[in-house]
Amino acid sequence: MPDGRNDIERAELLRQLRIDRDGVGARRSRKLLVLVAAVVLAALGGGLWFVLVGRAAPAVRTVVARAAGDVPGAGSVLDASGFVTARRQATVSAKITGKVTEVLIEEGMRVEAGAVLARLDDTEARAQLALARAQLAAATSQLAEIQARLAQAERDAARQQELFRRQLVSAQSMEAAGAERDTLRARLAAAREQVNVAEESVRVASVQLDNTVIRAPFAGMVVAKAAQPGEIISPISAGGGFTRTGIGTIVDMDSLEIQVDVNEAFINRVRPGQPVEATLNAYPDWKIPANVIAIIPTADRSKATVKVRIAIERGDGRIVPDMGVRVAFLDPAPARAGATQGVLVPADALRANGAAGVVFVVAEDGTVQRRSVTLGATTGGGREVLSGLRAGERVVLSPPAALDDGDRVTVDDAGASRP
């Protein structure tokens, strides 16, 4: 019996330890099926994303090709860089040294000629004016007294002369009356001079009081505020860190002009009155008409350049002093008859293709056409296209590297520009 029971127990243990190969295979098949399904779904999702998103029409900026003859600057003979400068600019100060009590300006404020910019402490000046006026009043009163006494002396001298003619008084009495009259006449002249001096003192004191008020010398824009109430201001530098030499700086915006340095090797291309097209660095799409005022008759030895002054024909609030500017000196001569007339596009609208170039033209249906074009001269910031493109067609600016013929694009109207 014990042997039989042991055999049964060993058989049960062997049965429990036996591996179920059919169950393991089924589980492996299920895992493989799930993995294959996940891969298929991921591939389908990626393909769908590529179709819906990856092939979405890219947003591009465009520019309209224009006939070269219609584009200012297409006849540029020389390009240069410079800055906007003001011919009329002043740092306004006071004529006297004093403490600032009030400042009435701020940066960006426009002021008229004679407008009050600041005031200094006028206590002493007012006291001097009051003293001068009192002295004038005293001199005027003394003058009136002398005038009254002189009138009486004139009558006494006339009576003494009449009595002497009748031999009723002595010659000494007549001469004494005449001497009194002449003395008063001299004193009257001195009193009148004293009144004149007192009047001049009043005027000087009034000027000193007026000097405590700082006014704008001309109409313009305040570009700097240099003093605050409580500070000491002086027309000359006192050498201390707490003494200001000016209240603020005013610029006459009507006196703005452009100054550029032209290489002396090309100065022969510039002459007074020559038309110029200016472009501010801050507004690259804005072309400003201008003309040459003068060529400064001296050269900079260190830079081998000659300074040229250029007038801005139409003022604008966007033009401010010290702005960077690029200028194109134009050829005023009319185009020669029969000369080749192409279209002008910005240089970044072209893609290199050997000696020629390629542009992408936006069609009406929103697709782009790849065009090979023949290139001409470089003018300003653009490039002349001699063939392959017509005026009025819209081309893509800075075309993406992946852009190809027939691709659909979305035109970014906010970025659209013209050459």
Average pLDDT of 356-371?
Answer: 87
Look at residue 29 in the predicted model and tell me its pLDDT.
62
Residue 48 CA to its chain's centroid (Å): 53
Order of strands across the sheet that contains 116-120: 213-215, 116-120, 98-103, 232-233, 243-244
Show Cβ contacts of residue 297 under 8 Å, excluding neighbours closer than 6 positions: none
Residue 98 CA to its chain's centroid (Å): 32
From the candidate CATH numbers 2.40.50.100, 3.10.129.10, 3.40.710.10, 3.40.50.970, the one assigned to the domain spanning 89-121+212-251: 2.40.50.100
Average pLDDT of 357-382?
Answer: 81
- Average pLDDT over the chain reads 81
Look at residue 379 in the predicted model and tell me its pLDDT.
64
154 close to 129: Cβ distance less than 8 angstroms: no
Look at residue 208 in the predicted model and tell me its pLDDT.
92
Look at residue 61 in the predicted model and tell me its pLDDT.
85
β-strands 220-225, 248-251 pairing: antiparallel
Q: What is the CB neighbour count within 10 angstroms for residue 18?
A: 8
Predicted confidence band of residue 104 (pLDDT cuts 50, 70, 90): very high
- Which CATH architecture is the domain 76-87+253-330 placed in? Beta Barrel (2.40)
Q: Which of 243, 233, 241 is nearest to 212 (CA)?
A: 233
Provide DSSP, 100-144.
EEEE---TT-EE-TT-EEEEE--HHHHHHHHHHHHHHHHHHHHHH
Average pLDDT of 209-222?
Answer: 92
Look at residue 52 in the predicted model and tell me its pLDDT.
47
Residues above pLDDT 70, as percent of the chain: 77
Q: Of the ranges 47-61, 212-226, 387-401, which one carries the lowest mean pLDDT score? A: 47-61
pLDDT for 46-77, tens place per residue? 555 544 444 567 788 888 887 765 555 456 78
Record the tokens describing residue 30, joined without a space. Answer: 């299920």
- Pairwise CA distance, residues 332 & 343, whole Å: 19
Average pLDDT of 388-413?
Answer: 83
Q: Give phi and psi for 274, each to the nearest 5.
A: -65, 135
Side chain identity at 390, as an amino acid letter?
A: R
Look at residue 278 in the predicted model and tell me its pLDDT.
92
Q: What is the separation, in whole angstroms, between the first and last Cα of the chain?
A: 111
Distances 56 to 50, 364, 404, 409 between C-alpha atoms, Å: 9, 18, 14, 8
DSSP-assigned letter for residue 417: B
Q: Residue 45, CB half-sphere, CA atoms under 13 Å: how many?
A: 6
Average pLDDT of 180-198?
Answer: 88
pLDDT for 311-350, tens place per residue? 998 888 889 899 999 999 987 654 444 444 678 888 888 8
Average pLDDT of 109-119?
Answer: 93
pLDDT for 75-99, tens place per residue? 678 889 999 999 999 999 888 889 9
Look at residue 213 in the predicted model and tell me its pLDDT.
94
Side chain identity at 305, as an amino acid letter?
A: T
Average pLDDT of 271-291?
Answer: 91
217 close to 250: Cβ distance less than 8 angstroms: yes
Residue the block writes with tokens 């243990």: 13
Look at residue 27 in the predicted model and tell me its pLDDT.
58
66 close to 88: Cβ distance less than 8 angstroms: no
CATH topology of domain 59-70+341-415: 2.40.420
Q: Which of 214, 207, 210, 205 is nearest to 102 (CA)?
A: 214
- Pairwise CA distance, residues 321 & 282, whole Å: 13
262 close to 78: Cβ distance less than 8 angstroms: yes
- Pairwise CA distance, residues 309 & 321, whole Å: 14
Q: Residue 302: is its pLDDT beyond 80?
A: yes
